Structure 1
């Protein structure tokens, strides 16, 4: 058994497809199938059920998958430690960030951080917060910015900024002249939501349920500007973090407070117990010193 076999096997498990996994790993499907079969032969058990349309793990496969992730993470950490020993002033960081946070904060963060640490390279994975959490936990990312909640038993949290969620409506909408609304006021409204890989998607649905109704979802998108344009055409309402709401076209859109307040809390997460490289520690220190208490005023 070698690490390559485990990497190939875990990718098939994540994608539930040999074809998709082969594309991501940049190998041919026959090569990937051969490597996984070799692993099964060495372990003398079937790890993946190939009889279905998608490739699913057997009971033995589930056990091997959990241990394989830990082994791969340990090997990655060995490489990180050795890289740190070779050159403490250089390094690479892989972080995840939802597009909403990226639009608001990432350019200024990068400008200031690279000015101070020009030899540290940051690779950005721009994805929804729910996927950021999953990839940080699995070791695919060193850390990431997410909207809370995040399981504190799994992650170390560095608070970044807190805002409130606001309602945006067309100026001709019946609620347009209100200074504030409750979630119950939105019971009959057509809602334009972010896609379900955004934590805000889940939070809004939960707030609707808490107010005693199921959200009437008219449209879902991962692009805030597209959702805003839909509101401009009076095709529905949307709930945005305050900084994003301010970017809306106020010639056509009114911004309204929501009560009780729905917080939009952003933290930078890293996996508990995982080795942090020299570069990663510098980034955490930088965020803590320069942004964790001032980001909301940027």
Structure 2
């Protein structure tokens, strides 16, 4: 789950709070595989995830999509480029979040960048990864809303050519009946139609 900092996510959370002020939302920031496991163990009611492969029991609907950008140190040798190609990044170390043995984030990076990239995993949140990027330990990918918020010592550049997207879906256990989760799914479905 990405931190919900994008305008669309914030609007949804605000609208939900206004409509259902007595129903609390608790976030679990994990990789997609871990989120799915938490859903099936009934530790969470719904998940927001980036689809790669969907198990049959996860029902889902599209929520939104964000552009992916490159995050690099403001002192990086490529800092003056307006945009970057995948070829220009071939010698870079990509820092990524990795909680335990959930390889969903690494898998997504490989889909975007190819297999000939060096990865370094960190069991940490995106803010900690940005701190490492700022210090020059490597580069990473970021969603547009993270770039809009900025981070000290980090600059963001688009890919040249096709801009990779990160689609976000709302998922729930199709075999589980829960009135609050059902209400949330219906709320999201209506929110997506209206916005």
TM-score (norm 2): 0.81
Contact conserved, 2:12 with 2:191, CA < 8 A, in 1? no
**2:158 matched to 1:257?**
yes
Q: Residues 183, 103 of structure 1: CA spacing in aligned structure 2 closer, same or farther, 3 A cutoff?
A: same
Q: Which runs of 5+ in 1 are unaligned?
A: 1-97
Instruction: Give 1:207's aligned residue.
Output: 112
- Displacement of 1:266 in angstroms is 0.4
- Point out 4+ residue stretches in structure 1 off by more than 6 angstroms: none
Is 1:178 matched up with 2:58?
A: no
Of 180-189 and 109-118, more deviation after overlay is shown by: 109-118
The whole-number CA distance in structure 2 between the counterparts of 1:189 and 1:136 is 35
After the TM superposition, which residues 128-139 of structure 1 pair with which residues of structure 2 at under 5 Å, given as runs? 128-139=31-42
User: Displacement of 1:218 after TM fit?
Assistant: 4.1
Instruction: Report what 1:280 is aligned to.
Output: 181
The residue correspondences of 1:235-254 to structure 2 (distance < 5 A) are 235-249=137-151, 252-254=153-155
- Cα pair distance change 1:169/1:131, threshold 3 Å: same
What residue ranges of structure 2 are gaps of 5+ in the alignment?
none
Pick from 217, 220, 243 the counterpart of residue 119 of structure 2.
Answer: 217
Could you tell me the TM-score, scaled by structure 1's length? 0.56
Are 2:3 and 2:29, in contact at CA under 8 Å, matched by a contact in 1?
Answer: no
Change (3 A) 1:108 1:101: same
C-alpha separation in 2, matches of 1:163 and 1:281: 25
What secondary structure, in the 3-state scheme, does the structure 1 residue paired with 2:122 have?
strand
For the 8 Å contact 1:189–1:236, the answer to whether it is kept is yes
Q: CA deviation at 1:236?
A: 1.3
C-alpha distance in structure 2 between counterparts of 1:205 and 1:260, whole Å: 16
CA contact (8 A) 1:168 1:237 kept: yes
Q: Which residue of 2 aligns with 1:290?
A: 191
CA RMSD of aligned residues (A): 2.6
Match of 2:15 in 1: 112
State the alpha-carbon separation in 2 of the partners of residues 170 and 142 from structure 1: 38
CA displacement 1:44-81 (0-9 Å, x = unmatched): xxxxxxxxxxxxxxxxxxxxxxxxxxxxxxxxxxxxxx
